[in-house]
Amino acid sequence: MLFRVLLLAVMVAVLSSCSNATDDIGDKVESLFKQVTGQPEVVEVEDRTISSSESVSSSSDANSSTEESIVLADNSAYSSEGVSASESTNSESSSSESSPSSESSSSSESSSSSESSSSSESSSSQTSSSSSEAEESQVAIIEKSPLEGLSESGVSFTLYFAYDGYDIDDETTKQIIAHANFMRDNSGYRLRLEGHADERGTREYNLALGENRALSVKDVLGLYELASRIDVVSYGEEKPISTDHNESAWKQNRRVEFIYESN
């Protein structure tokens, strides 16, 4: 449940930046997470990017990540080590390492130095509360779980669908593949796919429609032999993101949500 809250919050922030993600995002995400899981010390490097891009997102993110740090605070050896490491990188500031995720969101991958300046610019301009918040996220970064890494990589945890539709397009497929790679590399997680519909049409039909959307996503993940770790549920039109009665609300509500649960 904690994950769910956390993910939803992060998801919203990440979503806007990843909407124009590039073709190679899946591969990139895969490689990122091999690094993340294989070598914990690399995490800080990735985190630099995240702290700059994440600071864009709302303060609730910072709150949730501090919560996360409290939960994991028992792991003293690792965390103290991490704190020192992260503080040092913090003092280096967000110049050299701040590239990957911000790049992946801003499409073309070029030299990291040129990108870094723009991303640091954006981070400084967008973080009005600045330093204290950055410190908070620094602390959180240390204990980052693979799941946080996934959410911070620009992968969307919510996929959207056309009216009365449950087809998966190419762009959606890429997102799903990123999740597939994550699941393959992190066998400790189960995935709950929640299908939803907009308010138009009848409730029972929408319940069926929502399940078909989640099942479509599961079908793609099934190609990676992950089906046994996936639960599918549908809420139909009962849990809308927006309760307005217009197209922009309906668009947000026709969706499948990815909710990871650790075993």
Partner 1 sequence: MKKLFIFCLFFYSGIATAVLEVTILKRAENAFPIVIAPFEVVGNAEQGKAIAKIMSDNLNRSGRFNASSAMSVFHSEDDINFKAWQANNTEALVFGKVEQVSKTIFNVWVYLYDTYSKKRLYADKFAVHNSGIRRISHFLSDQIYDALLGERGSFDTRLAYVTVFNLADGRREYRLEISDSDAQNAQAILKSNEPILSPAWSPDQRKIAYVHFRNARSEVFIQYPFERRKTHKLPVFDGIASSPSWHPNGKSLLLTLSKNGNKDIYSYDIQTKSVTRITKDPGIDTEASYSADGKRIVFTSNRSGQVQVYIKNLSTNKVSRATFEGKYNSKAVFSPNGKQLALVHRVDKDYRIALLDIATRDLTVLTNNKLDESPYFSPNGGMIIFATNNDDSGVLSVVSIIGGQAFELASKKGEVREPNWSHYLK
Instruction: Provide the CB-side half-sphere exposure for 96 (13 A, CA).
Output: 6
Q: Which stretch binds partner 1 (CB under 8 A): 10-18, 35-43, 151-159, 226-234?
A: 226-234
Nearer to partner 1, 42 or 233 (CB): 233
Alpha helices, H only, 186-258: 203-222, 247-253
Smallest distance from the beta carbon of 75 to partner 1, in angstroms?
30
Smallest distance from the beta carbon of 210 to partner 1, in angstroms?
9
Nearer to partner 1, 34 or 203 (CB): 203
* Single residue of 202, 223, 225, 262 touching partner 1 by CB under 8 A: 202
Does 201 contact partner 1 by CB under 8 A?
yes
Residue 171: partners with Cβ closer than 8 Å, 6 or more residues away:
21
- Residue 231, classed as helix, strand or coil, is strand
Binding to partner 1 by CB under 8 A, coded x per residue (else -) over 155-174, reads ---------x----------
Nearer to partner 1, 179 or 196 (CB): 196
Amino acid at 259: I
CA–CA gap between residue 67 and residue 118 (Å, rounded)? 30
Does 34 contact partner 1 by CB under 8 A?
no
Instruction: Assess contact for 220 and 173: CB atoms under 8 A.
Output: yes
CA–CA gap between residue 168 and residue 172 (Å, rounded)? 6
Instruction: Assess contact for 189 and 183: CB atoms under 8 A.
Output: yes
Extract the tokens encoding 100.
């990957």
Nearer to partner 1, 56 or 217 (CB): 217
* Single residue of 10, 142, 209, 221 touching partner 1 by CB under 8 A: 209
Give contact residues for partner 1 (rule: CB under 8 A): 164, 199-205, 207-209, 211-212, 215, 232-236, 238-239, 245
